Structure 1
Amino acid sequence: QVVVPVLPGGLGCLVGVILFGPVWGFVYNYVGICAGSLMAFAVARNCGRPLLSLLFSEKTIQRYSRWAEERDRFARLFALAIFLPVAPDDFLCYLAGTTDMTWRRYTAIILLGKPFAIALYSLGLTAVWQMIVR
């Protein structure tokens, strides 16, 4: 879902929790999303900025490209966005791959920032799902 951003990430989190329960659904979502985020970074690192235009709208690219202009500022904003469950994470992972952010820093941000957002998505969407099916 991260490498080929077709479906919203929240939908994948909901399906994981429905199929595997809250604990294993979270674990599978976390592993899958982190692996996909690392792959997106690698693809963008190898393909560069032209890839962004193929996968995302020009509006999204323009909105967040300013973040990438300042190296230290981008890393802080990226970490905050990954931690919060409302940012366009897929796009930001690709954008990060086009910056000079190191693999080590990127990986640390993903591995430490994703659990909170995934847990919020998983728990929140599970509660909504349960209200719908009742």
Structure 2
Amino acid sequence: MTSNSRYKQIGSLVALALVFLIVSYFARQYSDTLAVIVRSGGVLGMLGFVLLTALFVIFVIPLDIAFLIPIGSVVFGPVPTALMSITGWTLGAAVAFSIARNLGRPMVERLIGLDRVLVVEKRIPKRNLFWSVVALRMTVSVDILSYALGLASSMPWSNYVLATVIGVTPFGFFFAYTGTLPFVLRIVSIVIAVAIAAFILLRYGIQREP
């Protein structure tokens, strides 16, 4: 991964963090109204949350963290929101991986384009792939990786799903609980998270072993 690519990813992380803070602020301000609207749907509201999260993953739209989680944390509480997010991310990742593995490049190109997928595909490590996926899942939510691995790796679907669950679980609980913190602590938590993710990207990136 080039320095420019890493800095672009860090810029994207900062932008998402800012949107998260803004949405979480207004979600807390209008929590009663949001609760009435969302809870009126009952179980369907929770199912919609999961399916929308999965769709965001499949179509590589990074709005789940920025919009869904802050609202979900206020309406449903942090634990249900974390569990729904983890379920949605895993479902979306599994579908994206399956699309790439079974339908190939033409379908991936139609859905999201190949340019970004090819960049990641060239950097897929040959060794310790399982734990590399776990580590990437802790810092990267947008699911280009699912398509790249489905196309270019021999990683079994079940292993990929397990690595995804392990990787996104701390991620899900962190953001779900962060959305409920006082605003100043929310800012501090997000700054720390972005700093850690930036360090990982700058220090390690996605290295391809010879």
Query: TM-score if structure 2 supplies the norm length?
Result: 0.51
Alignment partner of 1:42 is 2:95: no
Query: For the structure 1 residues 57 and 131, does the alpha-carbon distance in structure 2 shift closer, same or farther, using more than 3 Å as the test?
Result: farther
- CA 1:50–1:75: 2 relative to 1, 3 Å: farther
Question: Structure 2 matches for 1:52-67, cutoff 5 A?
Answer: 52-54=108-110, 55-56=112-113, 58=115, 60-67=116-123
- Structure 2 counterpart of 1:94: 147
Structure 2, gaps ≥5 residues long = 1-55, 185-210
Bigger Cα Rg: 2
Match of 2:133 among 59, 74, 78: 78
Alignment partner of 1:116 is 2:170: yes
Bigger RCO (CA 8 Å, 6+ sep): 1
TM-score by length of 1: 0.75
Letter in structure 2 aligned against 1:120: F
Q: Is the 8 A contact 2:90 2:164 kept in 1?
A: yes
Could you tell me which residue of structure 2 aligns to residue 24 of structure 1? 80
What is the deviation of 1:74? 4.1
Rounded to whole Å, the distance in 2 between the matches of 1:8 and 1:32 is 13
Sequence identity percentage: 20
Question: What's the CA shift string for 1:75-112, capped at 9, x where partnerless?
Answer: 44222101x2x325411112121121101211210122
